[in-house]
Amino acid sequence: MNRHSCSLLTRRQVLARAAQGGLTLGALSAGAIAQARAEDPRPRSGERHETRKKTSADLKITDFERSFIRFRLDTTKKPPKTTSRKLPMTLNNVRFPLDARAVLTRKSTGKTYDYALSVSCKTEQVWVPRDVWHQPNADMLLIAGPDEFLIVKRWDKADKGVMRYPESLGVQPERQLDSPEQNFDRYSIDLAARPGRELKTLEEIIATLFGAAPVVALTEYETADYHVRLEYPVKTVNFSERERYYQVDTGPALFPDLEQPHRTPLETCQLAYIAHNCPEWAEFLVCVPTTLTENVKVHHYSKSVRVEGTKNRLIAVG
């Protein structure tokens, strides 16, 4: 589309096509956008209108569908340390989409720890004609930082005792903290961003939830030593236009249990579901070893933790 044809669109058409992927607003000239606004017959509220648009344009959120943790195993360069079977290939590239993020800022130093939670997969044997799934099988995911990662594996019971390959490496940890440099030939956390619009009123929240726009939540709070910022897509949410409420119930997200002893904040990150129906608090349901019998524990979302003094925000995507 040339500049001339862009200038003939109304503001409503410009924004509608941009939302449908037909136009990229960043590629339009300032003149074309200004002319589109000028041709809009609807009344505008002057300075208030411009302030709202500027705030919306400045808000960027994670595009979880286009953000990935990637790593590359090359056994000709580095022997794997995280597997429980011998690999049938020498080279394997892995791509994990993201489920959530946690950004922790230490107050005393200002140092930031930016962690990404991958989606879950199942333990598998890759590039084989049959018998793909490992037995016993485990859920597996990564919590990744720029120079460290945590592999989390959950079998049908806690402390399963599955051995790594080779067995000289010992038992497969359920939470394996390690260095990308020592394990992978390549490693990256590729974060994509999208524009977002904060839903500041209950009316905006309910109207958006009746539509099809994705929603992302931000939860921020303070601990004794850290500022915590959690970001996660809102997958499940309850709401009512009659009783006038909403309640997020979604996950998995990350819950940094920073009161626990740790060498690095990554060790404190636990899987959790999160619920809230107002800005001021959030309740987490944390996945922990949960007793079934005297001799059996399973990893289950069973520990409820309430955090007061949060700042919860809902962001409409796009």
Cα–Cα distance measured from residue 207 to residue 194, given in angstroms and rounded to the nearest whole number: 21
Same domain, 210 and 298: yes
Same domain, 108 and 22: no
Asked if the structure places residue 59 within a domain, the reply is no
Distance of CA 214 to the CA centre of its chain: 13
* pLDDT > 70: percent of the chain: 82
Residue 318's pLDDT band, with cuts at 50, 70 and 90, is confident
Report residue 247 as tokens: 């309640």
Strand partners, 105: 112, 227
Asked if the structure places residue 171 within a domain, the reply is yes
Helices and strands (H and E) in the chain: how many: 6, 18
Asked if the structure places residue 105 within a domain, the reply is yes
Domain count, the chain: 3
Cα–Cα nearest to 142, from 184, 107, 175, 181: 175
Same domain, 209 and 167: no
Same domain, 204 and 150: no
Same domain, 198 and 177: no
For residue 15, pLDDT over 70 is answered with no
Q: Residue 183 carries which side chain, given as an amino acid letter?
A: N
Query: Cα–Cα–Cα angle for 50, 55, 59, nearest 5°?
Result: 150
Q: What is the dihedral of CA 221, 222, 225, 231, to 10 degrees?
A: 10
Q: In the prediction, which pLDDT does 219 show?
A: 98
Domain termination residue (choose one: 189, 204, 236): 189
Same domain, 117 and 203: no
Cα–Cα distance measured from residue 190 to residue 68, given in angstroms and rounded to the nearest whole number: 5
Asked if the structure places residue 54 within a domain, the reply is no
Asked if the structure places residue 56 within a domain, the reply is no
Same domain, 204 and 258: yes
Residue 185's pLDDT band, with cuts at 50, 70 and 90, is very high
Q: Whole domain around residue 132: which residue ranges?
A: 65-189
Domain termination residue (choose one: 173, 189, 205): 189
Same domain, 103 and 202: no
Give the burial class of 1: count Cβ atoms within 10 A of its Cβ; 0-12 exposed, 13-18 middle, 19 or more buried.
Answer: exposed
Same domain, 72 and 102: yes
182, 81 contact by CB (below 8 A): yes
Neighbours of 71 (CB within 10 A): 21
* Extended strands (E) in the chain: 60-62, 68-74, 91-106, 112-118, 121-122, 139-145, 148-154, 175-178, 186-190, 193-198, 215-222, 226-233, 237-240, 245-256, 269-276, 281-291, 297-308, 311-317
Asked if the structure places residue 58 within a domain, the reply is no
Q: In the prediction, which pLDDT does 19 show?
A: 44
Cα–Cα distance measured from residue 81 to residue 83, given in angstroms and rounded to the nearest whole number: 6
Asked if the structure places residue 160 within a domain, the reply is yes
Asked if the structure places residue 221 within a domain, the reply is yes
Q: Residue 318 carries which side chain, given as an amino acid letter?
A: G
Same domain, 130 and 175: yes
Query: Cα–Cα–Cα angle for 304, 173, 255, nearest 5°?
Result: 25
Give the burial class of 47: count Cβ atoms within 10 A of its Cβ; 0-12 exposed, 13-18 middle, 19 or more buried.
Answer: exposed
Q: In the prediction, which pLDDT does 161 show?
A: 97
Residues 6+ apart with CB under 8 A from 212: none
Report residue 59 as tokens: 């808000």
Same domain, 206 and 250: yes
Comparison of pLDDT for 40 and 269, the residue scoring more: 269
Same domain, 202 and 299: yes
Residue 58's pLDDT band, with cuts at 50, 70 and 90, is low
Q: Residue 281 carries which side chain, given as an amino acid letter?
A: W
For residue 64, pLDDT over 50 is answered with yes
Domain termination residue (choose one: 157, 189, 221): 189
